[in-house]
Structure 1
Amino acid sequence: MHRRGITWSFTQHLEDLDYAEYICLLSHRLIDIQAKASDLEKRANAVGLSINASKTKAMRFNNSNQGSITISGKTVDFVDHFTYLGTIISSSGGVEKDVESRLLIDIQAKASDLEKRANAVGLSINASKTKAMRFNNSNQGSITISGKTVDFVDHFTYLGTIISSSGGVEKDVESRLCKARSAFGRLHRIWRNQQISRRTKLRIFNACVKSILLYGAETWLTSQRMMSKLQSFINKCLRIICGIFWPNRISNSDLWRNTGEAPIHHQIKKKK
């Protein structure tokens, strides 16, 4: 007898998986799976049953054959994943989609539980102000609170720090630079005032500008490009405070020595 299933061991073949109301046909070749589907259809018709082709799905595992499978003259759809008994089966053989789905189910359960606990003490959750974010998760499912869908965002601000779905800190650093530039610009009269000593100006700079720039820096995963941006901004500020303008020049090392500053990567490392 010709074996049309898949090799299970050296001496065994697996033809199909049978469950209460489902059956999963297995085969290495497309021609064999079509023959098995046709045989199943005939046996079902013989006892007064029929197979719903629109609800029947097929999946390829490491098989590039683009042929089709038909049941009752209708073509069966091929899918890259499907859900069976609550578990997502993927054509890649991996479990990423199933894990992502379970994570979303967990967060929905936690959101529902939080809503119940809040209602129990007379509080309510504002769904329009509630936001969700995906980290390395492609699941496009939704989360609801009070029947309203929660918006997914790629970044949000928490305690002055921008949290990004990419896990990077580029948006936060750009925001810090923008705020520090604004703070430095508002103090321009102090930087140009000849009656205020350089030491006082530097103390004001550290307290009112650099503290804004490096807020939360101990959590940053820095890159050379990011360090260069931060250092360029600080160097420019120090030159203005010291009154060094074009065509006058000073090296960065001399600038840092005159102002008692350390390179920015040393300062961030110290904060960590």
Structure 2
Amino acid sequence: MVISEVVNDGIRLSVDGRLIEQVARFKYLGQWVSETWSLEGELRGRIEIARGAFNNMRSILCRRDLSFALRWRVVKCYIWSILLYGVETWTLKVKDINRPEAFEMWLIRRVLRILWTA
């Protein structure tokens, strides 16, 4: 893989006379890494997996008889670990930072039962 802002198909690498195949993306530590370091698809997928986990635990995380501090600790323990799995392979750009922040606001609103119109 050639990592660049501009995709370049002209590079040929060989080892012991065998040509090494150039790929556009590959899986590394469970995360898809692409030539342009675009995280859009990977980040969207991680957010959807975390959102699904939250929805599976909604009955616990939205209970009013538990304190917010306890519910938020559970969210950080379970939901954030799902979202941030493989973060060490991410190269974040400014536009990529906004997506996890928006997801965090979505989580806080759900846990506190605040309508999105409020």
TM-score, normalising length from structure 1?
0.35
CA distance in 1, matches of 2:60, 2:16: 51
CA distance in 2, matches of 1:198, 1:233: 18
Deviation, structure 1 residue 238: 0.7
Q: Which residue of 2 aligns with 1:232?
A: 102
Deviation, structure 1 residue 182: 1.2
Aligned with residue 84 of structure 2, among 208, 214, 221? 214
Higher percent of residues as helix: 2
**RMSD of aligned Cα (Å):** 2.7
Name the % identity: 25
Contact 2:32–2:42 under 8 Å retained in 1: yes
Extract unaligned runs of 5+ from structure 2.
1-8
Q: Which residue of 1 aligns with 2:111?
A: 241
CA distance in 1, matches of 2:16, 2:49: 34
SS of corresponding position for 2:115: coil
Contact 1:156–1:164 under 8 Å retained in 2: yes
Q: How does 1:60-139 map to 2 (within 5 A)?
A: 97=10, 100-101=11-12, 103=13, 105-106=14-15, 109=18, 133-134=22-23
State the structure with more CA Rg: 1
SS of corresponding position for 1:199: helix
Greater RCO (CA < 8 Å, at least 6 residues apart): 2
Q: CA 1:230 to 1:219, structure 2 compared with 1: closer, same or farther past 3 Å?
A: same
Aligned length: 110
Aligned with residue 201 of structure 1, among 49, 64, 71? 71
Partner letter of residue 80 of structure 2?
Answer: K
Contact 1:155–1:165 under 8 Å retained in 2: yes
